Amino acid sequence: MFKVLITEHIHEEGLKELYEAPDIEVILRLNMSQEELCDAVKDMDALITRSGTAVDKKLLEAGKKLKVVARVGVGVDNIDLGAASKMGIIVLNSPTGNTLAATELTMGMIFSIARKIPQANNSLLSGEWKREKFLGTQLYGKTLLIVGLGRIGSSVATRAKALGMEIFCYDPYINPKKAENLGVKRLDDLRGALSLADFVTLHVPLTHETRNMINEETLKSTKRGAYLINCARGGIVNEGACAKALKEDRLAGAAFDVHVVEPAKESSLFDPAIIEKVVVTPHIGANTREAQRAVAEIVVKNLIKALSGEPYENAVNLPYMENKMTLQEREFLSLARRMGMIAACVIKEHVDEITVAMAGPLFEEVEISLPFEVPYRYMPFTAAALKGLLEVRLGPEVNAMSAPLLAKEHGISVFESRREARTYKNVLAIEVKSQNKTFSMAGTVTEEGKKRIVGVDDYEIDFVPEGWVLLFSNHDRPGVIGKIGTLLGDYGVNIANFALGRKNGSGLAIAALQLDSSIPKEAMEKIQKDADLIWAHLINLKGE
Ligand code: NAD
């Protein structure tokens, strides 16, 4: 008999399967203090929470029999993932149950700003009868730009199509066939896409690339009188720039469910001067009874599977017992993730294929101890490379457990291979292919546990994959590096290290500059142009 403790209010129907499971005893105890929790968790096999229970190291340690912690919803900030992984405790969440809820709110937002429904409602309730004030815009025949054609973006596309809208998308990372199948025209340039759209709706995660994606500059490209909807994440739009565009009538309306600071008490969008053009809601995208039920059902289904030793989905932490890995093995995991991140920055389109090749005794000896069944059988290094590749595009929620499943969902074929080690004792290599590009990289970890990239494409190179890295290819002729150094100096960016890779007879070189800080966008554009580079990518490898 497994004992499952529920510590927060969860949609009752979503828990039905749990209550009906013959070998599970459910204990419901709400509003416990942290001490009471530590006591209650002692002989529990699993814990179900939302965001209000601090599942810290102390609590996890108190749960001597704990095998699974399940979070109903997406965010797992309240759970000490590192500690759970080290103890072999699986952490589950439910990232998918709210797609329809978020889609339907988006549609509601589109209707609301097009017809000023909230404003008309308020006007009538305040005793007015002013029909002329609420002249709206028809959706039929209008263009809709969907930025991010993932789960929610695609679902919005289907619905907007039914309204007779013409739909474009900007999402460089999807399989082009996906847009084609949805009848959505894919555009490669965000500014160009913005200039065509009557309505722009955002459905991207918040990443290094999407933060402030809609800013003063990009807003200049929007069609005059366009409408902007953000039901994705606060921070993707610069609220001040959006308010300014509304004041200047460059935007006709904006509808936001998500805000830079939440709970949002103040925002440039709350300015009374633009109140007639703005619709705001307090992050209610996932708030439908059905979504709340669905997220609970998803978590319960996987929790039962995990407890009964069957393959489960949506685990957040690493299934491999990291504490059983050697320092070198753990460093190879971190190297694999970083190599995936670099590849994601270099290949700016949909990835069709990734191959992770391992050479050396370390990869023969590594013990993959899985506490439970998982739905795939990749080496941990492959999962880590996939995590790196996908987290740059899909956001920090991607983890080593979800990455292989997301890769499958996004049509990325994954291969593993073994090779003979030559120059280095242990080497990890990845090759990433897209329609127009193949990019490969090799890396190793020194005896002292230091990560190094030792090959990029067919060039031998040697640099540490840490911090900010400017990776570029140039014509192998004098003066290039000097030019870049001067340009970086002009913008106050310090070069910490410099590595060069040359290949006899190719006339080309590859270089990696490690920098103390990021490079402003303007400087990047200048470097690329003035130093006559073939390609250049700024890569952020900060973090664990
Ligand atoms: P998803 O991972 O299925 O799709 C995200 C898409 O964005 C992917 O296709 C990806 O390729 C694309 N993308 C990533 N970086 C991009 C870039 N720089 N430019 C263009 N496209 C880019 O995610 P989803 O489930 O559809 O969720 C979309 C967003 O909605 C997320 O930010 C999520 O957090 C948010 N969300 C909000 C609510 C709410 O309550 N308002 C509810 C659910 C989800």
Average pLDDT by stretches of 10, the chain with 544 residues: 94 92 95 95 95 93 94 87 80 90 98 98 97 96 98 98 98 94 96 98 93 96 98 97 98 97 94 97 94 94 89 74 74 94 95 96 72 65 94 85 86 92 92 96 92 94 94 87 89 91 82 92 86 89 73
Look at residue 370 in the predicted model and tell me its pLDDT.
52
Per-residue model confidence (pLDDT) at position 505: 72
Rounded distance from Cα 235 to ligand 1 centre (Å): 13
Parallel, antiparallel or unpaired: strands 351-359 and 413-419 = parallel
- Is the Cα torsion angle 415, 418, 423, 424 positive or negative in sign? positive
Are residues 459 and 382 part of one domain? yes
In short, whether 404's Cβ falls inside 6 Å of ligand 1 is no
- Residue in this structure with the two tokens 């896409």, named with its chain if needed: 193
pLDDT value at residue 320: 55
Given this model, what pLDDT does residue 302 score?
93
210 CB within 6 A, ligand 1? yes
* Closest to 543 (Cα-Cα) out of 396, 406, 327: 396
In a domain, 150, yes or no: yes
The CATH number linked to 394 is 3.30.1330.90
> Are 387 and 311 contained in the same domain?
no
pLDDT at residue 226, rounded to an integer: 98
In the block, which residue shows the tokens 């095998």?
67
Q: Which atom of ligand 1 is nearest to the CA of 149?
A: 9
- Cα distances (angstroms) measured from residue 349 to each of 148, 310, 352: 13, 36, 9
Q: Are residues 81 and 122 part of one domain?
A: no
262 assigned to active site: yes
Instruction: Kindly state whether residues 66 and 37 are assigned to the same domain.
Output: yes
Neighbours of 196 (CB within 10 A): 17
d(CA 509, CA 502): 5
The response to whether residue 203 sits with its C-beta less than 6 Å from ligand 1 reads yes
* Per-position DSSP letters for 58-119, written without gaps between them: HHHHH-TT--EEEESSS--TTB-HHHHHHTT-EEE--SSTTHHHHHHHHHHHHHHHHHTHHH
Q: Indicate if 349 and 216 belong to the same structural domain.
A: no
The domain that holds 211 is classified in CATH as 3.40.50.720
Q: How high is the pLDDT of residue 194? A: 98
What atom of ligand 1 comes closest to residue 286's alpha carbon? 40
Q: Is 233 in the pocket of ligand 1 (CB under 6 A)?
A: yes
| CB of 113 closer than 8 Å to CB of 279 | yes
Region of residue 457 (phi > 0: left; psi between -120 and 50: alpha; otherwise: beta): left
Which residue CA neighbors atom 9 of ligand 1 most closely? 150
Q: Is 326 inside any structural domain?
A: no
| Domain presence at residue 285 | no
pTM: 0.83
Same domain, 481 and 396: yes
Residues 383 and 518 in one domain: yes
What is the extent of the structural domain holding 76? 2-95+290-317
The catalytically annotated residue of 71, 203, 233, 410 is 233
Question: Cα 13 to chain center, whole Å?
Answer: 30
Ligand 1 centroid–CA 231 distance in Å is: 10
Instruction: For residue 409, give the nearest of 173, 79, 111, 157 by alpha carbon.
Output: 173
Closest residue by Cα to atom 32, ligand 1, is 205
Residues 126 and 80 in one domain: no
- In terms of domains, do 59 and 44 share one? yes
H/E/C letters for each residue in 483-498? HHHHHHHHCCCCEEEE
Residues 58 and 111 in one domain: no
Whether residue 104 sits in one domain with residue 37 = no
327 occurs within a structural domain: no
Question: Which pLDDT value is given to residue 495?
Answer: 92
Count: domains in the chain = 3
- The verdict on 78 and 50 lying in the same domain is yes
